[in-house]
Copies of this chain bind each other. A is one copy, B any other.
Amino acid sequence: MLSKKTKYGLKALTFIARSTSSEPVQVGEIAKGEQIPQKFLESILLALRKAGILGSKKGKHGGYYLRKDPSEILMTEVMRVLEGPIAMVPCVSLNFYEKCDDCPDEAACSVHKLMIQVRDSTLEVFKNTTLKDLSDR
C-alpha cells in the first residue's frame, strides 16, 4: 500500500512543477491546494530537499523549488526517497539489499525469483516516468 507520505509528496511535487511563478512555492499554498496537513507536508518536503530533489529558501517569499527540470526528475529517485526500497523484499533490493535471515539459499528460494520479476517490472515503469509526465494534464 502506498503511504500517505508518498501520495502527499507526489502531489506536492506535481503542484510545484505546475507553478508558473518565478518565486518558490510555499508549504502553506501546497497544503491548502492539495488538502494536506501542513505540518506533515513540511516534513515531507524537508526529506525531498535533503535528498536533493527540492531546493528551499527561508523567510519572507521563501518556499520550495525544483532543483532540476521536471523532465529530468525520475520516479525511481522520488519513490526511493518517499516510499523507500522499490523491491518488496530486501533480498532483491538493488539499493537497499539485505540478506534474509530465514533463506539459506537465495538462488533456490521460490519467493526470490518472483519478487525479482516484480521489482524489474515496477522499476521499468518508474524509470520511464518523470515528474513532467505527472504534471502534464
A115, B83: Cα distance in complex, Å: 13
Chain A contributes a number of interface residues (CB within 8 A of B) equal to 30
| Nearest-neighbor residue (CB-CB) of A125 within chain B | B117
Assess whether B75 is in contact with A114, with CB atoms less than 8 Å apart: yes
A88, B113: Cα distance in complex, Å: 21
Per-residue B-contact encoding for A75-92, CB less than 8 Å = 1, 0 else: 100000000010011000
Assess whether A114 is in contact with B134, with CB atoms less than 8 Å apart: yes
A84-115 residues at the B interface, CB under 8 angstroms: 85, 88-89, 102, 108, 110-111, 113-115
Assess whether B125 is in contact with A121, with CB atoms less than 8 Å apart: yes
Which residues does chain B contribute within 8 Å of A111, judged by CB atoms?
A: 2, 7, 10-11, 134
Q: Quick one: which of B2, B14, B88, B122 contacts A89, CB cutoff 8 A?
A: B2
In the assembled complex, how far is the CB of residue A6 from the closest CB belonging to chain B, in whole angstroms?
8
Known: A114-B75, A122-B122. A7 touches B89 (CB 8 A): yes
Query: A137 at interface (Cβ–Cβ under 8 A)?
Result: yes
